[in-house]
Structure 1
Amino acid sequence: MKDLDAVLAAFDGKHTAPLETFAERQAPTAAVIRALTAAAGAPDQKHQSAATWLLKRYGEDGLAFTPRQTAALLALLPRVTHWEAKLHLLQIFPGLTVPEGEAPALFTLLTGPGYRGDANKLVRAWTYNALAELAAQHPARRAEVQALLARGAEDEAASVRARLRGIAKAHGWARRGV
């Protein structure tokens, strides 16, 4: 996709105007989502951030990701290295349906140092949100997630504690953990 390549190359890491323009002009076809997923998995961190930003935008605009697209997005979680790319994927998470077979590995990844233990407070905050969404879909994980939410309430970052309060409001079962 020549147009997408140009938009990704034009992204300066800060200003999203070229991304906004692309999202407004380009419908999120299966080919576009495949191209964005491929770009998000590339080593270039600016491309990771831009591609995941576009994927998040399409999700916010109402795109329901197919099971195949969901699998591709979940496969990006251990591969992306830029904190913004991680954040965008975590923010997409509420719109994804996680297959039962993928839940254990995803839980392990999210509770590890690259997500729940990440140095970036926003990544940590949204990791708790993703864990809560995972537990909402897979109730067998709720007790573990409640314990993690309780530990998260001790995080010094106000953004983490604010996200935990939002989780408690959204998920009645999570109130016991926060």
Structure 2
Amino acid sequence: MENTLKAAYLKWDGIHTAHLRQLYLENREDPSFIPATLALLENEHAVEVSSSWVLKHHIDQGKMLSSDQVDQLINKLPELRFWESRLHLLQMIPQISLTDAQAERLEPAVRKHLSSDRAFVKASAFAAYFEIVKRFPELKNEFRLLCEDSLEKVSASVKVKIRRILKQLQGAENR
């Protein structure tokens, strides 16, 4: 299936997601589809963005990944070549179940993206890092200060995300 799937991912024009949506619809019931897509994400740079988009779409549809599949994503995040695929993985983090060990391994990779030049990547990194902070309260004060400091330096779209996070952090402290 991997070779067929790779060929299908390579047909994507890099812009319009209708092709990827259709590919997902046609294959979502096949139990080898998500594992093959993960394998392609891990091994084929040419389909990194399209395969990460499909994985994010899978999660957006309310589907789950196994703990081993989450491990694969965590291991891949530091190696991703394209900002779009980094964005997709960061956007998945608030929607997937992480173990403490996975969150701990994920922390340095997500932290690195808090200073991304790409506004959407940065905003998604803040949301993803917040998920890590929920598991490790000892990071909360440093993260709150980082959020407050960042408000002066980021675009409006990132400010919105950071303000929401600060509100949630404050709400958690008041409980």
Q: Is the 8 A contact 1:28 1:58 kept in 2?
A: no
Cα deviation per residue 1:137-157 (whole Å; 9 max; x = unaligned)? 333322222122112212231
* 1:76 Cα offset (Å): 1.4
Q: Is the 8 A contact 2:151 2:162 kept in 1?
A: yes
Cα deviation per residue 1:68-110 (whole Å; 9 max; x = unaligned)? 1111111111111100000000111112222222333422222
Cα deviation per residue 1:25-52 (whole Å; 9 max; x = unaligned)? 21265522221112222352x5111001
Q: Does 1:124 align with 2:122?
A: yes
What's the counterpart of residue 22 of structure 1?
23
CA distance in 2, matches of 1:174, 1:104: 24
Unmatched tracts of structure 2, length 5 or more:
none
RMSD: 2.2
Distance 1:64 1:138, change over 3 A: farther
Alignment of 1:7-156 (within 5 A): 7-27=8-28, 30-42=31-43, 44=45, 46-112=46-112, 115-156=113-154
* 1:127 Cα offset (Å): 0.4
Q: Is the 8 A contact 1:132 1:174 kept in 2?
A: no
Of Structure 1 and Structure 2, the greater helix share is in 2
Give the fraction of aligned pairs with identical amino acids, expressed as a percent: 26
Distance 1:101 1:163, change over 3 A: same
Q: Is the 8 A contact 1:94 1:133 kept in 2?
A: yes
Counterpart amino acid of 1:48?
A: E
Q: Is the 8 A contact 2:104 2:132 kept in 1?
A: no
CA distance in 2, matches of 1:72, 1:15: 26
TM-score normalised by structure 2 residue count = 0.86
What's the counterpart of residue 159 of structure 2?
161
* 1:174 Cα offset (Å): 6.8
Distance 1:3 1:21, change over 3 A: farther
Cα deviation per residue 1:120-177 (whole Å; 9 max; x = unaligned)? 11111110010111112333322222122112212231121121133345x244788x
